[in-house]
Amino acid sequence: MKSFVEFTLFAVLLLLSAAPVLVFGAAAPAYAFDGAYAVYQMNFTLSGLTGSLTYSGQVRYQVSDVNAQQQTFLISVTFYGNLSEFYRNGTSTTATFSNPTGFPALNSSYIGMLNAGKLPPGTPSNVTDTTGVVMNVPAGKFITDEVNFGEGNVDWFDQRTGMLVKEVVYLGPGEPLSFELVSTNVVVRGPSYAPYEYLAAVLAASAVITALVAWIGSRRGSSARSEKEGSSASSTTSDTGSGSTEHTSGPSAPENPS
């Protein structure tokens, strides 16, 4: 039984070590790993006295130099298409887990508030939040928090990672800027667990492990009883066989004549 208990504790510890690292009750951002990237498609039109100019292209955000101890990482941004005429390439920003400046995402605290239907402190009163909105973009289907700023300006944030999935901003009458996620390797890396989800996962896994250990224990107990009963039956059969030999024993049969 002691070995079963030790096995259970080991399995739970293994599960804990494989789960996302929690820092003061909050998981590190899902995008905070070297090589993480997010590519967006941006389109907008600017009107002026000489006419209108349309800008279109992709924007790539790349994560590097992640320092888990200091909770910092570096963000580099590259613009493609004729966006490079409007934005400067090669820019990089140092961001923190709590303030991912330069990366299109919210920190875990803010996305947690939105998931609960609450808006971060200081948000204008006309802003609304709708949770559980399904949003389809080229990168896939996401369950999002829809933050509506009014007058057609809306942001959609992935509920799991806090990453911006889509944004529509009006630069002027009839001049929307669209910004949507095209590809990323963040989501496929796995969800970033909120503390209560992490606890639930641990408890569920512990229950499964405990049930498995109990089943193994019952099987071992049943096997031991079967072996004991088999041994007892074998002993009885042996005794009965000895008695039979004594009653039927007699002179040896005569040898065949040569």
Q: What is the pLDDT of residue 61?
A: 95
Residue 140 per-residue DSSP state: E
Q: What is the pLDDT of residue 187?
A: 74
Q: What is the pLDDT of residue 89?
A: 73
Q: What is the pLDDT of residue 113?
A: 94
Return the CA Rg of the chain: 34
Q: How far apart are CA 250 and CA 114, in angstroms?
A: 97
Half-sphere exposure of 61 (CA within 13 A, CB side): 28
Q: What is the pLDDT of residue 252?
A: 33
Q: What is the pLDDT of residue 258?
A: 35
Q: Which residues pair with 59 in a beta bridge?
A: 40, 79
Residue ranges of domains in the chain, CATH in brackets: 20-192 (2.40.360)
Q: Which of 173, 171, 169, 183 is nearest to 59 (CA)?
A: 183
Taking CA atoms, 67 is separated from 61, 70, 78, 179, 220, in Å, by 18, 6, 22, 29, 48
177, 170 contact by CB (below 8 A): yes
pLDDT averaged per 10 residues in sequence order, the chain, 258 residues: 40 34 52 94 83 88 92 93 77 88 91 93 92 95 95 94 94 87 77 41 46 54 56 49 38 36
Q: What is the pLDDT of residue 191?
A: 41
Q: What is the pLDDT of residue 226?
A: 55
Tokens of 23: 């820092």
Buried b (16+ CB within 10 A) or exposed e, 186-197: bbeeeebbbeee
Tokens of 214: 């109990």
Q: How far apart are CA 167 and CA 181, in angstroms?
A: 9
Residue 42 per-residue DSSP state: E
Q: What is the pLDDT of residue 216?
A: 53
Residue 100 per-residue DSSP state: -
Q: How far apart are CA 58 and CA 84, in angstroms?
A: 10
